[in-house]
Amino acid sequence: MPTATPGPVDTEALFTGIGAHIGDRLDRRDYLFHLHSASKQRVNIITKVVAGEWYTVWPNLTQTPEAPTVANIIEMGINHWAAVLGAVLPSVKVPVYASQDATQGKRGARKRERRVREVWKASNWSELATKNGADYSGAGFTILGVWANFGEEDLSKRNPYVQHFDPRHTYILKDELGNITELLVARRMDEMTLANQLKFEYPSMYERMKDHIDDVEEWIWYDQDTFFRAIIDVGKEGRAAERWVVLTN
C-alpha cells in the first residue's frame, strides 16, 4: 500500500501514487459488503424493532402501526445493558512482554496503562461505555476505533481519542486467532455533513457530489499498519467520474 504524509489530498494527486489504490479499495468495499450482508440484515431488523417499527419487520394485515399490546422486550433489554455497562468502567492491565527484562518491561507496561487511561479520559469513556452496552446487547458486538487530529503537524499535539462506530456501518476481517486485521467504517452522508467536510476546502468536488448525495459515503479504514479516510461517491456514475477525495492516508 502506498505511504504518504497524513492530511488532505488534492484530487489531482489521486491518480499517481497516493490514490492509485482507490479502485482496489472500491472492489474491497464491495467484497466486505457482500461478506457481511446477512449479519447487517439481522442488525437492521433489531434496529427497526427498537425504533418501534415492528410492524414492518413482521407484516400482518390485521395489525396497524400503533403500539403493540406487550412491552418491547428487545428495547427494554438493550436499555438495561446500556445502563449496566455504562455504569462500570473496565480496568486496564497491559501485559509485560516476555522477551523484555522484567523490571524494564513492567515499567513500560505501566506507562502504556497510564496512556490508555489518558486516552479514555479524553474520549468521554462513560458515554462510550453506554453505547457499547447497547450495541453489544442489540447487535452482538461493539466497535471502537482510535483516531487523531491528523491535520496537526506537531505529532505530540495530535491528541488521539477513542470514537464509537455504529455496528450497522462497520465491516471487519479477523485472522485465525480471532484478532481483527481490517476494519472498514462506511457510512452514508447527508448534504449538511458533506458541506461541512468539503465545501470550503474542496468546493469543486462538493459541487460535483452534492447532487448525488444518496451514493456518497464516508470511509474510515483501518488495517494493522495504516489509517485511511476518504469521501467517495460509490454509485456507478460516481465511480466512472472518479468523484472522491482522500482526507487521511
Neighbours of 82 (CB within 10 A): 20
User: Which range, of 27-41, 94-108, 169-183, 234-248, averages the lowest pLDDT?
Assistant: 94-108
Q: What confidence tens digit (pLDDT) does each residue in 30-49 have?
A: 999 999 999 898 888 888 88
Per-range mean pLDDT, top range of 52-61, 83-92, 166-175: 166-175
Q: What confidence tens digit (pLDDT) does each residue in 101-132 have?
A: 777 788 888 888 888 888 888 888 888 888 88
Neighbours of 209 (CB within 10 A): 26
User: Looking at residue 59, what is its pLDDT?
Assistant: 67
Would 156 be classed as within a structural domain? yes
User: Looking at residue 15, what is its pLDDT?
Assistant: 33
Is residue 46 within 8 A of residue 138, CB to CB? The reply is yes
Would 123 be classed as within a structural domain? no
Rounded Cα distance between 23 and 2, Å, is 14
Residue-averaged pLDDT of the chain: 81
The average pLDDT across 136-153 equals 84
Would 94 be classed as within a structural domain? no
Is residue 143 within 8 A of residue 135, CB to CB? The reply is yes
> Can you say how many angstroms the Cα of residue 213 is from the centroid of all Cα atoms in its chain?
19
Label residue 19 by pLDDT band (50, 70, 90). very low
* pLDDT above 80 (res 180): yes
Q: Which residue has the higher pLDDT, 2 or 223?
A: 223
User: Looking at residue 230, what is its pLDDT?
Assistant: 94
Give every CB contact of residue 174 below 8 A, 6+ residues apart in sequence: 180, 181
Label residue 217 by pLDDT band (50, 70, 90). very high
Would 131 be classed as within a structural domain? no
User: Which range, of 24-28, 60-64, 84-88, 89-93, averages the lowest pLDDT?
Assistant: 60-64
How many residues in total does the chain contain?
Answer: 249
Is residue 206 within 8 A of residue 216, CB to CB? The reply is no
Would 71 be classed as within a structural domain? no
Query: Domain range holding 19?
Result: 9-50+141-249
Per cent of the chain over pLDDT 90 is: 33
Would 81 be classed as within a structural domain? no
User: Looking at residue 78, what is its pLDDT?
Assistant: 87
Label residue 151 by pLDDT band (50, 70, 90). confident
Tally of domains in the chain? 1
Q: What confidence tens digit (pLDDT) does each residue in 182-208 have?
A: 999 999 999 999 999 999 999 999 999
User: Looking at residue 155, what is its pLDDT?
Assistant: 81
Would 193 be classed as within a structural domain? yes
Three-state SS string across the chain, please? Answer: CCCCCCCCCCHHHHHCCCCCCHHHHHHHHHHHHHHCHHHHHHHHHHHHHHCCCHHHHCCCCCCCCCCCCCCCHHHHHHHHHHHHHHCCCCCCCCCCCCCCCHHHHHHHHHHHHHHHHHHHHCCCHHHHHHHHHHHHHHHCCCEEEEECCCCCCCHHHCCCEEEEECHHHEEEEECCCCCEEEEEEEEECCHHHHHHHHCCCCHHHHHHHHHHHHHEEEEEEEECCCEEEEEEECCHHHHHHCCEEEEEC
Given the C-alpha cell 396497524, which residue does it identify?
64
Would 174 be classed as within a structural domain? yes
